[in-house]
C-alpha cells in the first residue's frame, strides 16, 4: 500500500505484511516527520447509488429527465435561496449617524435660532416704533395745548384784537405759529366752518379750509374730514388723526394732526407734523439692529459651518481608521480559514478592536497547537 507523509507529501510503498502489530511508525527521509502507518487499510468508500425515479424506483437513464412522482404534477421546483445582499457598510453608517444626522439637527437648530432672532428684532422694532410714535403724538398734543393756553392769555389781554389782525400782530403771530419738530407747525383756526386765521401760508388766511384741501388731499380727503368734520359743524373739541399730504417735492407722506380748542373762545389750535419725523431716530436704531443681527447671524453660521466641517473631518478620519482595522481582522480571519496559520496579525489598539485582534491571535495559536498534537498522536 502507499503511505503519504502528511508534512511534505512524499509517497512510500509499504508492504502491510511486514508490519508487526496493528500499526507502525517510520521517519520521513525528506522532512524527518514521523509517519504513522495502520496495518488495516481504511474501508473503501461505498459509491453512492445512482439517482432513482420517485415513481418507478428505477435509476435514471443517462441524459433522461427525471420523471415526476404521482401527486407532484404542477408543483414548482424548490428554488435555492438568493445570495445575501450586502447592507450598508460601517463607514456609511457612521457617516449617517455621526455626520448627516447631526448636520440636519444642527442646521435645523441654527435656522430656528436665526429665525427667532430676526423675529425678536422685528418685534422689538415694531414695539419700539409704537412707543416712539405714541411719545411723539403726546409731544404734539402737549405743544398744541400749550400754544392754545398762550393764545387764550393773549386774547384775554387784547379783547379788541380781531381775527383779521392776528397775522398783523407780530407778537400774537409768534405765539399762534410755532415750530413743531423739524417739519411741523401750529396754526390757529375758527370753528363752524373751519377757517384759518394764523398759518405759515398767508394765502389761506380767512378762507374755509375744507374746500382748499380737498383737491391736494385726493383719496386721503375722507381721513381729513374725520378729524375736522365736527369742527366744521361748529363743535370746538379735541381730535387727532392721520392723513396723506403731498409735500413740496411731490412725495406723498403720512402726516399727523391734533386739534384742541382755545378755551372760552371760538378758536382752536391745530398742530401738524410728518409721521416719519417721529420714527426718524427709530430708523437709525432699526438699521443698527439689522446690522448687528446680520453680524450675529453670519457669526452663528460661521460657527455652525466650522463645527460641521470639524465633525466631518473627525468622523471621516476615525471611520477610516476603524474600518481599516476591521478589514485587517477580516483578511486575517480569511487567511486562517484557508489554512494559512503562519500569517502575522499587526493590530495596535487598546480598545475593543485590539481585544478582537488578541482573540483571533489566540484562536490561531490554538488551531496551530491542535494540529501539532494531532500530528504527534499519529
The answer to whether residue 291 is domain-embedded is no
Contact (CB, 8 A) for 38 and 31:
no
Same domain membership, residue 274 and residue 133? yes
Strand partners for 285: none
Structural domain span for residue 162: 129-282
Same domain membership, residue 19 and residue 150? no
The answer to whether residue 227 is domain-embedded is yes
Domain finish residue from 282, 307, 341: 282
Same domain membership, residue 133 and residue 264? yes
Report the C-alpha dihedral over residues 367, 368, 370, 372, rounded to 10 degrees. Answer: 160
**Of all helices (H) and strands (E), which one includes residue 144?**
helix 101-157
The answer to whether residue 88 is domain-embedded is no
> 19 burial class (0-12, 13-18, 19+ CB within 10 angstroms)?
middle
Nearest to 137 by CA among 238, 213, 245: 238
Domain finish residue from 282, 310, 340: 282
Nearest to 258 by CA among 228, 279, 234, 285: 228
The answer to whether residue 150 is domain-embedded is yes
CATH number at residue 238: 3.30.450.20
Tell me how far apart the alpha carbons of residues 236 and 220 are, in angstroms, rounded to a whole number.
23
Instruction: Determine the 3-state secondary structure of 342 from DSSP.
Output: coil
Q: How many CB atoms lie within 10 A of CB 144?
A: 25
The sign of the torsion formed by the CA atoms of 316, 318, 324, 330 equals negative
The answer to whether residue 235 is domain-embedded is yes
Along the 378 residues of the chain, how does pLDDT read in single tens digits? Answer: 777 777 666 777 777 777 777 777 777 777 667 777 776 654 444 444 555 544 445 554 444 444 444 444 444 444 444 555 656 677 777 778 777 887 788 778 878 877 887 788 778 777 877 887 888 889 899 999 999 999 999 999 999 999 999 999 999 999 999 999 888 999 999 998 999 999 999 889 999 999 988 888 888 899 999 999 999 999 999 999 999 988 777 788 899 999 999 999 999 999 999 988 877 777 777 778 778 878 888 888 888 888 888 888 888 888 888 888 888 888 888 888 878 888 887 777 777 888 888 888 888 888 888 888 888 886
Same domain membership, residue 264 and residue 143? yes
Q: What pLDDT does 80 receive?
A: 46
The answer to whether residue 378 is domain-embedded is no
Contact (CB, 8 A) for 33 and 8:
yes
- The domain tally of the chain equals 2
The answer to whether residue 119 is domain-embedded is no
The answer to whether residue 8 is domain-embedded is yes
Predicted TM-score (pTM) of the model is 0.52
Amino acid at each position: 500500500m502507499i503511505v503519504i507523509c502528511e508534512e511534505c507529501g512524499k509517497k512510500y510503498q509499504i508492504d502491510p505484511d511486514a508490519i508487526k502489530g496493528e500499526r507502525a511508525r517510520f521517519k520521513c527521509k525528506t522532512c524527518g516527520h514521523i509517519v504513522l502507518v495502520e496495518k488495516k487499510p481504511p474501508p473503501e468508500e461505498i459509491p453512492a447509488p445512482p439517482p432513482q425515479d420517485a415513481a418507478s424506483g428505477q435509476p435514471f437513464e443517462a441524459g433522461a429527465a427525471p420523471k415526476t412522482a404521482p401527486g407532484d404534477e404542477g408543483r414548482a421546483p424548490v428554488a435555492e435561496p438568493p445570495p445575501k445582499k450586502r447592507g450598508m457598510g460601517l463607514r456609511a453608517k457612521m457617516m449617517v449617524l455621526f455626520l448627516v444626522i447631526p448636520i440636519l439637527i444642527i442646521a435645523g437648530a441654527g435656522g430656528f435660532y436665526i429665525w427667532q432672532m430676526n423675529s425678536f428684532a422685528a418685534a422689538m422694532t415694531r414695539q419700539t416704533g409704537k412707543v416712539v410714535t405714541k411719545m411723539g403724538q403726546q409731544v404734539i398734543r402737549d405743544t398744541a395745548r400749550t400754544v392754545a393756553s398762550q393764545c387764550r392769555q393773549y386774547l384775554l389781554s387784547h379783547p379788541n384784537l380781531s381775527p383779521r389782525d392776528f397775522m398783523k400782530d407780530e407778537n400774537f403771530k409768534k405765539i399762534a405759529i410755532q415750530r413743531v419738530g423739524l417739519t411741523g407747525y401750529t396754526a390757529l383756526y375758527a370753528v363752524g366752518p373751519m377757517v384759518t386765521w394764523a398759518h405759515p401760508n398767508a394765502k389761506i388766511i380767512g378762507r374755509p379750509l375744507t374746500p382748499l384741501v380737498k383737491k391736494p388731499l385726493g383719496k386721503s380727503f375722507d381721513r381729513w374730514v374725520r378729524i375736522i368734520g365736527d369742527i366744521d359743524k361748529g363743535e370746538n373739541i379735541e381730535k387727532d388723526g392721520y392723513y396723506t399730504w403731498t409735500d413740496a417735492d411731490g412725495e406723498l407722506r403720512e402726516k399727523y394732526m391734533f386739534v384742541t380748542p382755545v378755551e372760552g373762545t371760538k378758536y382752536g389750535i391745530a398742530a401738524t407734523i410728518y409721521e416719519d419725523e417721529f420714527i426718524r431716530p427709530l430708523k437709525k436704531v432699526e438699521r443698527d439692529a439689522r446690522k448687528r443681527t446680520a453680524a450675529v447671524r453670519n457669526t452663528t453660521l460661521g460657527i455652525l459651518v466650522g463645527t460641521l466641517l470639524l465633525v466631518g473631518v473627525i468622523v471621516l478620519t476615525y471611520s477610516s481608521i476603524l474600518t481599516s482595522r476591521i478589514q485587517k481582522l477580516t483578511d486575517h480571519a480569511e487567511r486562517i480559514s484557508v489554512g494559512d496559520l503562519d500569517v502575522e496579525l499587526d493590530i495596535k489598539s487598546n480598545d475593543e478592536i485590539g481585544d478582537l485582534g488578541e482573540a483571533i491571535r489566540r484562536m490561531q495559536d490554538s488551531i496551530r497547537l491542535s494540529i501539532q498534537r494531532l500530528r504527534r498522536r499519529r
